Homo-oligomer: A and B are copies of this chain.
């Protein structure tokens, strides 16, 4: 049996005993050096706070920490348990799903603290980046872009490739975020544009370049089983429940966070109903499909990433969720297979339907809601506050703001597509230890699997073999018994 398994086993090019440790060590040491040179505590996390507080007549509760920490922890759960477990749905790639997610997010957030620091909060007088709780939230956000891309690549790339995807993904993210939020002065607190739209197209473009014509050889592993779908539901639910925190984590204090939570909560509820409805409607037998439930029920929140902090109204949020549940399920049923057939685009988790399209639409929804904002609805101060109409942007009209929001969406798509193609080409260099086409979606390639596992599964695998090639395997199976 063991032999049989090994003969099917991964090719030796998945050997990563040199490459993975090398990458991890070199990059981690680089992080230590760069952190040493650049990163310091900000005013609110430095021990000088005691004096600063007195000087500014503040109390401890004014520390930014108390406004952001609960949201931060929710976001943190989404990144590691949410994304991680959502990707355990494949029956034999659950370790890879949750484990590689853990690895690349842990690297990504370090690199994000640096990249976002350089672009957003480098103090030019001291040459230092000062970090606080909001930096941690942003670092988690920044990782999310690369984790979304991982969704499109799940099961088809090596951990070293994923580290490369993350290195470039975080870098590209920091640049596009700088352009969209700082130069174009868009609002995008929940990242419809900068996170989901970018991350989705980034992953799709990489996957398109890395097209595997013979992926069907791994067909047997490209599905779920009863348990793995339940594990994936853990991911789905933690994403779903904590998405109000995701969208509100860095919005304005007070009404900003409050309103964002309400809007996201409402949009999500609406998505669930239409996702279930469409899932049943698209099936000949009217049964629900776990893939749709796990993913499309989240689409409403993705599309609210920009608009949730605006006065989109509760029923506006319901409407967004309503259509996103429909569009996303439709995507899973029709668009993903179409993309694979026609565009040679293999998208394991369907990030096209959960992130790319809802993120893009979310960007445009945000543009429309921004363009139609009025002083009557927001109040004079509210409008200034929500759209940060200060300094040189004080006089920008709301119509113009809407135009910039739309432009921002296009920037994120462009960064995703172009960046993804370039990174895809880099990953095509045959040094990264990815598996052969017939061994995708298999943890065997990169993980020590529990020994007993092979035996537990073998009767079943045997069984399956029996079912598919009945007649001829009597000899084979008796051979198996003899082996023991």
Q: Is A40 an interface residue (CB 8 A)?
A: yes
> Is the CB–CB distance between B73 and A255 below 8 Å?
no
- Given contacts A261-B133, A450-B224, A452-B225, A379 and B290 within 8 Å (CB-CB): no
> Is the CB–CB distance between B226 and A289 below 8 Å?
no
> Is the CB–CB distance between B94 and A230 below 8 Å?
yes
Q: Is A428 an interface residue (CB 8 A)?
A: no
Chain B residues in 8 Å Cβ range of A254: 44, 49-50, 53, 60, 63, 65
Interface window among A11-19, A173-181, A348-356, A391-399: A11-19
> Is the CB–CB distance between A466 and B448 below 8 Å?
no
Give A155 Cβ to nearest chain B Cβ, in Å.
15
Q: Is A337 an interface residue (CB 8 A)?
A: no
Chain B residues in 8 Å Cβ range of A466: 481, 483-484
Residue from B70, B225, B379 in contact with A453 in the complex, judged by beta carbons closer than 8 Å: B225
Residue from B35, B226, B277 in contact with A20 in the complex, judged by beta carbons closer than 8 Å: B277
Chain B residues in 8 Å Cβ range of A241: 73, 76-77, 80-81
- Given contacts A254-B60, A379-B51, A477 and B483 within 8 Å (CB-CB): yes
Residue from B17, B85, B110, B462 in contact with A484 in the complex, judged by beta carbons closer than 8 Å: B462
- In this complex, the interface size class of chain A, counting residues with CB under 8 Å from chain B, is 35 or more
The prevalent SS among residues of A at the interface is: helix
Residue from B51, B70, B266, B293 in contact with A99 in the complex, judged by beta carbons closer than 8 Å: B293
Q: Known pairs A35-B314, A44-B255, A234-B234. 9 more at Cβ < 8 A? A: A17-B285, A20-B276, A21-B278, A24-B273, A50-B255, A69-B261, A80-B237, A452-B460, A459-B459
A-B contact pairs, 26 of them (CB 8 A): A20-B286, A28-B273, A28-B277, A28-B322, A40-B314, A45-B258, A47-B385, A50-B381, A50-B384, A53-B254, A72-B261, A73-B241, A91-B452, A94-B230, A95-B288, A102-B237, A106-B268, A106-B297, A285-B448, A287-B446, A287-B448, A288-B447, A290-B447, A455-B463, A455-B467, A473-B484
